Amino acid sequence: MYEPGKLRVVERPIPEPGPGQVRIRVESCGICHTDAATILGVYSGLTLPRVPGHEVVGRVEALGDGVTRWKVGQRVGVGLIAGEDGVCDSCRRGDSVNCQNPVSSGVTADGGYAEMMIAEARALASVPDELTSVEAAPLLCTGVTTYNALRNAGLRGGDLVAVQGIGGLGHLGVQFARHMGFRTVAIGRGGEKEKLAKELGAHVYIDAAAENAAEALQRMGGARAILASGTSGDAMAQLLSGLSARGKLIVVGAPEDPIQLSALPLIFGGRSIYGSLTGTPIDSEDTLAFSVLQNIRPMIETFPLEKAADAYACMMEGKARFRVVLVTRAGTAQKPTAK
């Protein structure tokens, strides 16, 4: 029986992949804050019951008809947008991440809080040997989301870039911003995360609980971009006046409350605000490759799959430093991969 907000361990028959699909023996799956929308039963288009999870890494163990690109035994990853329909206007314009009718892991199809998962072959990303499965998993959503948002923002080396909300997304956003060559500011609440944020690569840490973050950014000349990854619309709205002229507030966090903005900083200074949705499988491969190139790794805490409910609670209570990753029996059996 399904109860909103409750995760339960269930036994199911082993599923067979259909045409164009593969079965993956899951090794690890990160817990993204977006999973809350599945677990609470509020994600648009969700059908229940559902296995959550869209930061999945494992090995291909069965191929459906017509799958030629992937081999049994190959290590692969799956993110949130896990199969575009190929026929909607967005797809026809080559914008498959904004497909209007996608397969979404953990929403329209069962995800990775499981020993095995059926995935569309076209949704797979190849995982490089340099990354262990627990390291790679968060890069399939939290990683590609922040990496894509930053690399597509039209920024230049040396620009002042702030990352707001130092959680799963934010802690990778800080690392990507630093390694892309930006003057990197981390904005969190409280002094407790300052040391970690600086270890992750932030040049400056702003404690938004102690000072006005927008004013602090203006004292540094104003941010060319702020990657807003927190779960508060009110906190995002307060940052708008911290942008430089032509600065961009890039919304990746999905708060429940509205973002209420004054029009004036938008008009005077040509500032803008827009959203960015995760990425495609090839964007995920780029994220994994950049992480190997720059030695970027998520900071993780692992839980066995059976403890998914405790792991989810850890994330929801804001206690994770910084990403909780579930490890299956197959994942536990893996030897660490060479760095």
Ligand X SMILES: NC(=O)c1ccc[n+]([C@@H]2O[C@H](COP(=O)([O-])OP(=O)(O)OC[C@H]3O[C@@H](n4cnc5c(N)ncnc54)[C@H](OP(=O)(O)O)[C@@H]3O)[C@@H](O)[C@H]2O)c1
| Residue 84 binding result from ligand X, Zn ion, none, given CB thresholds of 5 to 8 Å by partner type | Zn ion
| Residue 106 binding result from ligand X, Zn ion, none, given CB thresholds of 5 to 8 Å by partner type | none
Closest separation in Å from C-beta 190 to ligand X: 7
Compare residues 143 and 222 and give the one whose CB is closer to ligand X: 143
List of residues contacting Zn ion (CB under 5 A): 32, 34, 84-85, 88, 91, 99, 141
Q: Which of 158, 181, 221, 318 binds ligand X (CB under 6 A)?
A: 318
Q: Which of 46, 88, 204, 254 binds ligand X (CB under 6 A)?
A: 254
CB 261 within 8 A of CB 267: no
Number of residues that bind ligand X (CB under 6 A): 27
| Residue 166 binding result from ligand X, Zn ion, none, given CB thresholds of 5 to 8 Å by partner type | ligand X
Per-residue burial over 98-136, b if 16 or more Cβ lie within 10 Å, else e, is ebeebbbbbbbbbbbbbbbbbbbbbbbbbbeebbbbbbb
| Residue 259 binding result from ligand X, Zn ion, none, given CB thresholds of 5 to 8 Å by partner type | none
Per-residue binding string, ligand X, 126-155, x by CB under 6 A, is ---------------xx--x----------
Compare residues 17 and 83 and give the one whose CB is closer to Zn ion: 83
Closest separation in Å from C-beta 226 to Zn ion: 20
Q: Check residue 160 for interaction with ligand X (CB under 6 A).
A: no
| Residue 271 binding result from Zn ion, ligand X, none, given CB thresholds of 5 to 8 Å by partner type | none
Closest separation in Å from C-beta 104 to ligand X: 11
| Residue 188 binding result from ligand X, Zn ion, none, given CB thresholds of 5 to 8 Å by partner type | ligand X
| Residue 85 binding result from Zn ion, ligand X, none, given CB thresholds of 5 to 8 Å by partner type | Zn ion
Q: Check residue 53 for interaction with ligand X (CB under 6 A).
A: no
| Residue 184 binding result from Zn ion, ligand X, none, given CB thresholds of 5 to 8 Å by partner type | none
Q: Check residue 229 for interaction with ligand X (CB under 6 A).
A: yes
User: Can you give the three-state secondary structure of the chain, one letter per residue?
Assistant: CCCCCCCCCCCCCCCCCCCCEEEEEEEEEECCCCHHHHHCCCCCCCCCCCCCCCCEEEEEEEECCCCCCCCCCCEEEECCECCCCCCCHHHHCCCHHHCCCCCEECCCECCCCCCEEEEEHHHCEECCCCCCHHHHHHHHHHHHHHHHHHHCCCCCCCCEEEEECCCHHHHHHHHHHHHCCCEEEEEECCCCCHHHHHHHCCCEEEECCCCCHHHHHHHCCCEEEEEECCCCHHHHHCCHHHEEEEEEEEECCCCCCCCCCCCHHHHCCCCEEEECCCCCHHHHHHHHHHHHHCCCCCCEEEEEHHHHHHHHHHHHCCCCCCEEEEECHHHHCCCCCCC
Residue tagged 């906190």 (tokens): 235
Q: Check residue 34 for interaction with ligand X (CB under 6 A).
A: yes
Q: Which of 9, 277, 282, 293 binds ligand X (CB under 6 A)?
A: 277
Note the residues at the interface with ligand X (CB under 6 A).
32-34, 141-142, 145, 165-169, 188-189, 193, 229-232, 235, 252-254, 276-278, 315, 318
